[in-house]
Amino acid sequence: MTITRNKNRLLLASLALLASTALHAYEPENTECIAPADPGGGWDFTCRQVGKTMQDIKAIPGTLQVTNMSGGGGGVAFAAVVNKRSDDNDLIIAASAATATRLAQGAYPGNDMSQVRWLGSVGADYGIIAVAKDSPVQSLDDLLAQMKSDPRSVAIGGGSAVGGWDHLKVLLVATKAGIEDVRTVKYVAFDGGGEAITQVLGGSLQAYTGDASEAKGFVDSGDIRIIAVLAPERLEGDFASFPTAREQGIDVVGANWRGFYAPGGMSDEAYDYWVETIGKVYASDEWKQSMADSGLAPLDLQGAEFEAFVAESVSSITDLSRQIGLIK
């Protein structure tokens, strides 16, 4: 009897021990990545490519399952994570500058950035401002001078809606250049960067605002000329010959970053695990190749640093959106 009782006690003790280790060390099981859009979009590729790299470098056991949850420009997925899966330790969600923009503008009704935990970035697509090759505008100064003297003569097109990231990049530049009423900046929204570039080539628009990777084909062919790159320093490769806005005295960095957030109730252990895993992906040669292939520039922020970066961009977008009257 006593032996069995002791045995039982031992068993209980070891079970308790097991349970407590399980509480402390997080073991990923069925890992999942939500892409808040249909297959084929930017967030979908972020999930799939990062997931593939995680498997290749064996940073996670098994595979990272990708779930598409489209709607509301990412708002449906955000709400689902906050309301239904808040304590899921195996879940990460793809995000980008568009996520921060919409959070800042209250476009995810009832949600804000503090409801989730921000994990890290895996790269950025820097903004550019470009004109057609035969345009009289030669530099960012030329364009800004024209925008100041005759704001209605400059129509700038981009691939995002009014108040979206492509629009805000131009406004950031305009504000820095001393244009006080940014509402005078004439922005025309298109359904994608390519459509806007075609209109620049066709002569309907005077300038284009977008991401470096979107414009690459036209830059290589010489159809458009980049007058400013919104990066901290010159980009590598084909873009190295184009000056940054900073060089021209306008200190604006516009990065369309790609990264991940996690449910707000994720345990600290799991959070640390995912931050570290995304760091491993970023440092791997496989990911460097993926970045080069898809035209992403470096942006290496993880954990608290990344959280601060998102918070800072949300607050500056909030200010700007208030100025243009998009939010009250």
Partner 1 sequence: MESLNSLLNGFAVALTWQHVFLALMGCFLGTIIGALPGLGPSNGVAILIPLAFTLGLAPTAAMILLTSVYYGAMYGGRISSILLNIPGDEPALMTTLDGYPMAQQGRAGEALALSGVASFVGAFFATWGLVFLAPQLVKVALLFGPAEYFALFTLAFATLGGITSKNQAKAAFAAALGIVIAMVGVDGQTGVPRFTFGEVHLYDGIDFLVAIVGLFALSEVFLFLEHRGDGTGEGKQASVGIGRITPSWKLLKSCTPTMLRTSFIGFIAGVLPGAGASLGSFISYSIEKKLVDKEGTFGTGDPRGVAAPEAGNNAAAGGALVPMLALGVPGSGTTAVLLAMLLALNITPGPLLFISNPDVVWGLIAALFLGNFMLLAMNIPMVGMFVRVLLIPPRILMPIVAMISFVGIYGISGSTFDLMVMIVFGLMGWVLRKLDVPLVPVILGILLGNNMEDNLRRAMTISDGDWSILLSSPLAIGLWLVSIIGFVLPILLGGIIRRRMRRDEVGAVQD
84 binds partner 1 (CB under 8 A): no
148 touching partner 1, by CB under 8 A: no
* Residue 328 Cβ vs partner 1, minimum distance, rounded to whole Å: 12
109 binds partner 1 (CB under 8 A): yes
DSSP strands (E only) in 166-247: 186-189, 207-211, 224-230
Residue 242 touching partner 1 (CB under 8 A): no
66 binds partner 1 per the rule CB under 8 A: yes
Nearest of 214, 225, 241 to residue 131 by alpha carbon: 225
Positions 288 through 307 that interact with partner 1 (CB under 8 A): 292-295
Quick one: which H or E segment has residue 255? strand 255-263
- By CB under 8 A, tell whether 182 contacts partner 1: no
Neighbouring residues of 288: CB distance < 8 A, sequence distance ≥ 6:
none
Interatomic CA distance for residues 164 and 77, integer angstroms: 19
The contacts of residue 5 (CB under 8 Å, 6+ apart) are none
What DSSP string describes 81-135?
HHHH-TT-TTEEEEEEHHHHHHHHTT-STT--GGGEEEEEEEEEEEEEEEEETT-
33 binds partner 1 (CB under 8 A): no
* Residue 65 binds partner 1 (CB under 8 A): no
Structure tokens at 146: 């024209």
Assess 61 for contact with partner 1 (CB under 8 A): no
Which whole-number Å values give the CA distances from 143 to 89, 131, 151, in the listed order? 49, 9, 10
Comparing CB distances to partner 1, the nearer of 29 and 191 is 191
> How many other β-carbons are positioned within 10 Å of the β-carbon of residue 79?
18
Q: Least distance from C-beta 300 to partner 1, angstroms?
A: 21
Binding mask 192-231 for partner 1 (x = CB under 8 A): x-xx-xxx-xxxxx-------xx-xxx-xx-x--------
Among 26, 32, 44, 94, binds partner 1 (CB under 8 A): 44
If one asks whether residue 165 binds partner 1 (CB under 8 A), the answer comes out as no
Rounded to the nearest 10°, the torsion over CA 288, 51, 103, 272 is -90
106 binds partner 1 (CB under 8 A): no
Query: Where along the sequence are the contacts to partner 1 (CB under 8 A)?
Result: 38-42, 44-45, 48-49, 52, 66-73, 75-76, 79, 105, 107-109, 152, 155, 161-164, 186-192, 194-195, 197-199, 201-205, 213-214, 216-218, 220-221, 223, 292-295, 326
